[in-house]
Amino acid sequence: MNTATRNSRIAVVTGASRGVGRGIAIALGSHGYTVYVTGRTSKPGQAALPGTILETAAAVTAAGGTGIAVRVDHSNDADTKALFEQVSQEQGRLDILVNNAAAIHEDLIKGGGFWEKSLGLVDILDVGLRSQYVASYYAAPMMVRQRQGLIVFTSAPGSVCYVHGPAYGAQKAGVDKFAADMAVDLREYNVATISLWLGLVLTERTRSVIDKDPGKYSQMVEAAETPQFSGHIIASLYEDPKLMDQSGQTLIAAEAALHYGLKDEGGKQPPSHRSMFGAPRIPHPAIVR
């Protein structure tokens, strides 16, 4: 076991080379977490967008936590299994898993019907849906043993309304359902599962789109969230003594922030888009085993 970090909270954040995952990892680091940062990009220039797992891990440490970079291809189950074996061996526990890794194709925001875009968009159902089930599968036993833990899925309103097409929508709906159903299996072990609807997040990818037409997107920027925003929400969720009352739910990040008295950088309070995009689905209480 790594004695330098054994007394801190332990988290795994998948898909954290850049974007939302990077922000969540850094935010958890600011709360003193040891964060295992996963992704495929370990060297600059390996991806179209900037960011590597090593840079994120360093930023986690700089924020006050301990960042540990682990290169993981989340399309490979063996890689995922090895990751959680490493966490178990080095730390002996796992407090939070943030399922964020997803295959985002460059055609995602392209116009046209789904059949007019690359078939590669469906890869999000492999790395983004199936991969998050696999990560949860290997994380759950540690949490069950310690009878405490939180599994979070980063999601969005695309699960209930049309956003970017059917593959994207199916992935978001799928992780919301993962949270609902895993909560049933994990409840007796005091392990919570939450799906978190993020708003527009100012990631590297989002900024690249805005930079192409800043006038068109200026109003969107005003309401956007920083990548760190949801990480502070997740930290508050874990410390909430009533966390299990929320297990299985899909929460809107902006509303959860209000509940916990959290603001984004610069004192900004990102708005909920419930009135525009709709509300998360509430699972039926029936359970058939």
- Which position among 33, 36, 138, 168 bears the catalytic label? 168
Alpha-carbon distance of 160 to 284, in angstroms, equals 16
**Residue count of the chain:** 289
Which distant-in-sequence residues (6+ apart) come within 8 Å of 121 by Cβ?
105, 107, 108, 114, 165, 167, 168
Q: Nearest Cα to 97, choosing from 138, 127, 130, 68?
A: 138
Alpha-carbon distance of 117 to 127, in angstroms, equals 18
Q: Nearest Cα to 66, choosing from 5, 24, 6, 150?
A: 5
36 in catalytic set = no
Quick check: 43 and 127 in contact, CB under 8 A?
A: no
Which distant-in-sequence residues (6+ apart) come within 8 Å of 38 by Cβ?
12, 13, 14, 15, 16, 53, 70, 71, 72, 74, 83, 101
Alpha-carbon distance of 6 to 28, in angstroms, equals 16
Annotated catalytic residues are 168
